Amino acid sequence: MANRRIEPLKKVLAIDPNDEVAWFGLGKAYMEDANFEEAAKALQQCVTVKPTYSAAYYAWAQSLHKLNRLDECRTVCATGIDVSTKNGDAMVTKNFEMLRSSLPA
């Protein structure tokens, strides 16, 4: 059964495609449904709209990891670490470092 948050978030985005919170929520809702392909698309759009949204980079990297798109995951981790460090988001930075260290060489 699809996450009940998906359709309302899509309606918000139809009205305001620059709503980074809605993009993030949509990505997380797709992740909850294990629809990592759609999650990755939504989260990529989220950071396109707001390039400083470090939590969105982390969720995007997690989705790419689940899809076994490891090179893309590494790239998003690197960018996310830069963004989260500049933002002072120490916990997000630590999460990125743990995810990156779990990736095969």
Asked if 32 and 59 count as a contact pair (C-beta separation under 8 A), the reply is no
Sequence-ordered list of residues with C-beta below 8 angstroms from that of 12, at least 6 positions apart, any chain: 19, 22
Helix (H/G/I), strand (E/B), else coil: 35: coil
Whole-angstrom Cα distance, residue 67 to residue 43?
14
Instruction: Please write the tens of the pLDDT for every residue from 5-35.
Output: 999 999 999 999 999 999 999 999 999 999 9
Chosen CATH of 6-102 out of 3.30.450.70, 3.40.630.10, 1.10.540.10, 1.25.40.10: 1.25.40.10
The whole model's pTM is what? 0.94
Give the start-to-end residue ranges of the domains of the chain. Answer: 6-102
Whole-angstrom Cα distance, residue 105 to residue 103?
6
Q: What is the pLDDT of residue 41?
A: 98
Q: What is the CA radius of gyration of the chain?
A: 13
In this prediction, the residues of the chain whose per-residue pLDDT falls under 50 are none
On the 0-12 / 13-18 / 19+ scale of CB atoms within 10 A, 68 is exposed
